[in-house]
Structure 1
Amino acid sequence: IFASVAAGLGIVSVVALSQAANKAFGESENAQKGFIVVGIAMTIVSSILFECAGLGVKERVPNTDERKTMKESFALMWNCKPFRRLLISGILRAPLQLLATVVMTLFTYYYCGGDLTNAFSNGKTFLTVVIIGGAFFIGQFGATALCPVLMKKIDVKTLYNLTGFSALPMALLFVTYLIAPTELAKIGWVVIDGVLLLFAGIGFGAVMICQSVMISDCIDYEDYHHNYRPDGVFFAGQSFIQKFSTGIASIISAYVYAAVGYSDVNIEKMNTAIANGASFATDFQNYSKAMWFLLTIPPAIGMAISIIPTIKYEITSKSHQEMLNVLIERHKEAE
């Protein structure tokens, strides 16, 4: 929850601060130099804080001296059936990363007139951003907090597969755009989109929690069947999925932007037109539609098809508890 809050604040602050820093350089509103300065500063701070993550952590299961090559690590991940299902599911869900790459650009242009700082100086714009952004984060935080409680009564596999239903509210967001492409900043549509984002956020938050828990269960599964705990390998696999997903999302957005002519030269022309009073929603509907599409349809498809590999996921709460009982006895005997 805290990491998600920090991520949200980070996205907002890096755009707002970069625009402010860019003005100090006397540059135009595209905030190129400011973005670099703020990005470097935040990278240094976050890198220092990251070093604190391991303080006070204690290993509960003894490590072995066995090491795996990269080839052996990939083979290990692939040969573990439940983890292989998670890998494939994560890859299919790759378009979900478009939420992170597109959302601030869309919000800045569609709701804030090309300048995110307007969200802090205009009461109506601020309320809109709070409702739209807040609804998604509330759904995400609520799911993050409730999932551990629900897992005591429902299999993690079931919860994970239920996240596929969040594809519906994501797709309906694009429907609202098609109905009222230039009017989504009106309070009525803001509330409707806020409700849809609330339910979409629930799925997004739940899938993150469930995936981490299921990876841990896969480690126990591998230990139970082969007496080897691939903690580092399997969680590295999770990082691989995230980086791979970011690459896929970038490719999708690049093709869509190219199709509508959203390039550096045209962006500069658009920024100038907006600064002179043009409306992004009204005067640049091809760009607006492309962004709303990227924010909704590919992520919706990804969420819907990502549960296909995990429908037959092998580990249930009952089977996992049985494995844990055996593993606990094994570790006691090894001490």
Structure 2
Amino acid sequence: MQHKMRQTISFGIGAVGKDMVYALVSGFILYYYNTVLGISGTFTGIMMMAARVFDAFNDPLMGVIVEKTNTRFGRYRPWIFTGTVTNALVLYGMFAMPESVTGTGVLVYASVAYVLWGVTYTMMDIPFWSMIPALTSAGRERENLSVIGRTSAAVGYAIPTVLTMLIVVRIGGSERQGFALFAAAIAVLFVITELICVLGIREKAIPAGKAPTMREMFGALLANDQAMVVVVGIILFNASLYLTTQLALYFFKYDIGNSDLYSLFGTIGGVGQILSMVSLPVLRRRWSSKTILTGSIGVTIFGYAFLFVLGSLGSSNVPLLGLAAFIIYIGFGLATVLTTVFLADSVDYGEWKTGRRNESVIFSMQTFVVKLASAISVLVAGVGIDLIGLDTEAAVQTAGTLLGLRVLMILVPIAGLLVSIFYFRKKYALTEEMNRRIAAELKERREQ
């Protein structure tokens, strides 16, 4: 029991650190490249989508490499630590571009840094989440660890969301220097938290055996139709929410007229997200996972509609804006945990159907699609702010620009969420009853 508690706490601390890094990049890279460095939103969006094309091959390959790893330190821990250290160095470099770099050099530096960040983040993220089905059994134990992991990740994500703009404008003498110093602090915390994680987790011995070929593993992945359903659902859902994250700072700065409210919006939203995540075990006593997912997305859509009304009225009422954030992120928190549980369940389904578990390959898809969703949101946001004529040098935007900003930030995500829930409810077949049957059959096979 004490060992499990230490392992759970260590896993949670690791989740905090890794999502601090992810939040800084996914939430502020467009603003940093566009407003601080002067790179066009369209270039930033296209560059990030190109990086995701590379990740389509790199992330599953990393999953295969992890799957074949067998060291005296375990399968996952060596990659978590190695990826963390290299990613921390790249993170600092990405937000600390030397001022001597100018012209085309800025575009080259920004592009190379972003691609390297994605590669090194993959090195630690895939083995991190791959541990869930390896450490737990299907059912409540897996749900509980997923809740702890995702709740801790939400805490980590909230830290840069709340603090970044409050800090970078107050340190270093300029936003550019402020971002560099803040990124350095996040990088150090990242290394510390992941070191605690790898020291606190004791992996079970990996049985020796013939490692599957890449062809066999990709074949098993493509044969796992339920994993593919979850992957598509994650892309649709996360891209919708990330689009809001990308544009929220612009929204509060130009539409509401108070950029400090962005931090408050993130704080209240983070509280709602965390509360909803820890409430999942209670909700599961009464409703099925698919029912909870449908309800959570419905709640998020309602929050978006409320925020659109506030923006259209030009309201800067803090309690009402906070309420909108709370409602939106309640749904987001529940859906985030549930998709992780669904993906872990698809690992058991894949073993039941094909004879191979392939945790790392399946969870490499989660890493890839989350980054893909972020890139899609940056592409839409980057091209969108150029199309609506948003001028980062102007203190006041035109009425047409502000309306376009609201449409991009609120109405487009609503459409994406509607598509995601209709698709998921139609295609996802792993009910609680089916999961229990699969677990029982797998147990019987292993005992033979």
- Which bin holds the TM-score, normalised by the shorter protein? 0.7 to 0.9
Greater Rg over alpha carbons, structure: 1
**SS at the partner of 2:406?**
helix
The aligned residue for residue 356 of structure 2 is 228
Further displaced range: 72-81 or 9-18: 72-81
Contact 1:18 1:38 in 2 (8 A): yes
The aligned residue for residue 175 of structure 1 is 309
The aligned residue for residue 418 of structure 2 is 304
Q: TM-score normalized by structure 1?
A: 0.77
For residues 120-159 of structure 1, what are the structure 2 equivalents within 5 Å? 130=264, 132-159=265-292
Distance 1:256 1:210, change over 3 A: same
What is the number of equivalent residue pairs in this alignment? 294
For residues 84-123 of structure 1, what are the structure 2 equivalents within 5 Å? 84-93=228-237, 94-109=239-254, 113-114=258-259, 116=260
Q: CA RMSD in A?
A: 2.7
**SS at the partner of 2:271?**
helix
Contact 2:220 2:354 in 1 (8 A): no
The aligned residue for residue 212 of structure 2 is 67
Distance 1:134 1:32, change over 3 A: closer
For residues 248-267 of structure 1, what are the structure 2 equivalents within 5 Å? 248-262=376-390, 266-267=391-392
The aligned residue for residue 21 of structure 1 is 171
Contact 1:144 1:209 in 2 (8 A): yes
Between the aligned partners of 1:102 and 1:261, the Cα distance in structure 2 is 14
Q: CA deviation at 1:247?
A: 0.8
Q: CA deviation at 1:243?
A: 0.5
Q: CA deviation at 1:330?
A: 3.4
Q: Does 1:315 align with 2:448?
A: no
Between the aligned partners of 1:236 and 1:55, the Cα distance in structure 2 is 23
Between the aligned partners of 1:74 and 1:109, the Cα distance in structure 2 is 47
Between the aligned partners of 1:236 and 1:21, the Cα distance in structure 2 is 37
Deviation sequence 1:244-263 (CA, Å, 0-9, x none): 0011001101121111223x
Contact 1:95 1:248 in 2 (8 A): no
Distance 1:156 1:77, change over 3 A: farther
Distance 1:134 1:244, change over 3 A: same
Q: TM-score normalized by structure 2?
A: 0.59
Distance 1:10 1:214, change over 3 A: same
Between the aligned partners of 1:317 and 1:84, the Cα distance in structure 2 is 19
Q: CA deviation at 1:306?
A: 0.7
Give unmatched runs, 5+ long, in structure 1. 117-124, 275-279
Give unmatched runs, 5+ long, in structure 2. 1-150
Q: CA deviation at 1:18?
A: 1.7
Between the aligned partners of 1:250 and 1:106, the Cα distance in structure 2 is 15
Contact 1:260 1:287 in 2 (8 A): yes
Distance 1:81 1:39, change over 3 A: same
The aligned residue for residue 198 of structure 1 is 326
1:192 maps to a residue whose letter is: L
Between the aligned partners of 1:243 and 1:5, the Cα distance in structure 2 is 19
Distance 1:42 1:171, change over 3 A: same
Distance 1:39 1:205, change over 3 A: same
Between the aligned partners of 2:385 and 2:268, the Cα distance in structure 1 is 27
* Percent of pairs with identical residues: 21
